[in-house]
Amino acid sequence: MSTQRQNPAGGPEAPPVQKEQSMVLQKEMIADHYARLERAHEEGNKAVYTFVPGNLNELVLCFDNLLPVHPEINALQNAMRKRSGQMVLEAEKLGHSEDVCTYVKADIGMLRAGNMSPAGTRLPDPDLLLLSYTGCFTFMKWFELLREEYNAPVAMLHTPYQGDGHVSDAMRAYMVRQLKEEVIPKLEQTSGQKFDIDRLRELLARSRRAEDDLVAVLESARNTPSPIDAYFGAVYYIGPIFSAFRGTEGAERYYAALRAEVEQRVAAGQGPITPEGPLEEERFRLVVEGPPNWTSFREFWKMFHDEGAVVVASSYAKVGGLYDRGFRHDPDNPLESLADYCFGCYTNINLPGRVALLSDYVREYNADGFLINSIKSCNSFSAGQLLILREVEQRTGVTGGFIESDLVDPRYFSSANIKNRLESYFQMLSQKKRGAA
Ligand code: SF4
């Protein structure tokens, strides 16, 4: 474990942040990626902007001069560094309304300020906008804005919504046809290289091994105490696999190291490492629905830590794929498995599917409570959440809680209000536990 001083707002120094070794490894991978992006065009490489859910990382990496850029990651990293507020305001001055997803506004604000990455390096303009559409309409409007801004070509992959909860052969064939006729030709055109399906198989085999390790890490939360926090901590655990690193040797190494760390904690009967230090006593086990707030991420996490609350499963950790429900990238069926991956992204799953998944998590992970963090500007998650709350409570018998915040707009993180609500919620859980004892 290592520590570092954090002074995000230029004020007095915060207490040291405690980090797992795998987090240090991940930090190096991210810094290296931003450095490569800064040099991309001078070294003859090309930038492919694409989104986290439904990302086709292995396909992009088949072409060794293509580098992926993920706008949502830039937005959330800027928020964690307390820079997104100004970017959101910039975008609103340009006419983007208060209701627009704040990831989009942070991205627009960032590019207007010179397209400097959260690492302080310059991002290359996109050579291709790879729009993998997995259920969130905002993705389409976002890339329309970037297409206007950069005049860059677009490759679109349309994933049919799992409206009735099933993926048919016709839906899969439709996706494979788009990959063959639209996506791969545009990647070939952008890179000037020929697509090699054997290279794709190699990368998918690596992904698969890393995915096995990730699932072992997520499922370790079935232990009591849970050795991980599957919401706040999981943000770091899903980082490499949901972004630029799936299919790389670096990601494979990262997940092997992470799994070993977590297995050590299970063997020692230890709880998760949090920025405030190891959690000594697990008082509440929660399932959480909805993305976290990024602008006050550490403060938000601390509110749970101070109450001895550990998140044992979350929907956010599945935003880029439901690996824990059995999906793996498959080198023997490369294009079909890329299609299946896109179908399974959380935003592409209908409400009954989300309710069933969350109810199963409550039972499988032996949770005491179910909490929703409803994000003001993310309709893809927030629509239907009150119905989800009622249904999960009814099906599992656990007490539900509801708080509201936003992704990267600091105006919508009301610290006192959220703390109050959480304290009342934990009191309720505590009374219920006492009553059951
Ligand atoms: S899923 Fe939510 S946060 Fe992501 S782009 Fe869509 S609206 Fe924004």
| Among 206, 203, 187, 205, CA closest to 195 | 187
pLDDT at residue 17 in the model: 63
Mean pLDDT of 404-421: 96
> What distance in Å separates the CA atoms of residue 75 and residue 294, rounded to the nearest whole number?
9
Mean pLDDT of 255-278: 95
Q: How far is the CA of 395 from the centre of ligand 1 (A)?
A: 28
Residue 102 alpha carbon, nearest atom of ligand 1: 8
pLDDT at residue 14 in the model: 54
Residue 350 pLDDT > 90, yes or no? yes
Mean pLDDT of 50-71: 96
Beta-strand relationship, 154-158 and 309-314: unpaired
pLDDT in tens, 369-399: 999 999 998 988 998 999 999 999 999 999 9
Extract the tokens encoding 185.
């030709």
Task: Give Cβ neighbours of residue 240 (< 8 Å, ≥ 6 apart).
Answer: 26, 29, 210, 246, 250, 251, 254, 255
Q: Phi/psi class of residue 115: alpha, beta or left (left: φ > 0; alpha: ψ in -120 to 50)?
A: left
> What distance in Å separates the CA atoms of residue 108 and residue 376, rounded to the nearest whole number?
19
Q: Model-level pTM?
A: 0.93
Residue 10 pLDDT > 60, yes or no? no
| Among 322, 317, 341, CA closest to 239 | 317
> What distance in Å separates the CA atoms of residue 65 and residue 190, rounded to the nearest whole number?
9
Mean pLDDT of 105-134: 96
221 vs 16, residue with greater confidence: 221
Q: How far is the CA of 103 from the centre of ligand 1 (A)?
A: 7
Task: Tell the residue nearest (CA) to atom 4 of ligand 1.
Answer: 378
> What distance in Å separates the CA atoms of residue 96 and residue 106, rounded to the nearest whole number?
11
Question: In the chain, what is the straight-line distance between the N-terminal and C-terminal CA atoms, in Å?
Answer: 37
Mean pLDDT over each residue of the chain, to the nearest integer: 93
DSSP H helix total and E strand total for the chain:
17, 12
Residue 51 alpha carbon, nearest atom of ligand 1: 5
The half-sphere exposure of 257 on its side-chain side, counting CA atoms within 13 A, is: 16
> What distance in Å separates the CA atoms of residue 59 and residue 247, rounded to the nearest whole number?
9
Backbone angles phi, psi at 121, to 5 degrees: -100, 160
Q: How many residues does this entry show for the chain?
A: 437
The half-sphere exposure of 202 on its side-chain side, counting CA atoms within 13 A, is: 9
pLDDT in tens, 317-348: 999 889 999 999 999 999 999 999 999 999 99
pLDDT at residue 19 in the model: 66
Are 343 and 159 contacting, i.e. CB atoms less than 8 angstroms apart? yes
pLDDT at residue 12 in the model: 43
pLDDT in tens, 315-324: 999 998 899 9
Residue 52 alpha carbon, nearest atom of ligand 1: 4
> What distance in Å separates the CA atoms of residue 64 and residue 79, rounded to the nearest whole number?
31
Mean pLDDT of 160-187: 96
Q: How far is the CA of 221 from the centre of ligand 1 (A)?
A: 27
Q: How far is the CA of 138 from the centre of ligand 1 (A)?
A: 6
Lookup result for tokens 């304290």 = 423
pLDDT at residue 321 in the model: 87
What is the crossing angle of helices 102-112 and 84-93, to 10°? Answer: 90
Residue 291 alpha carbon, nearest atom of ligand 1: 3
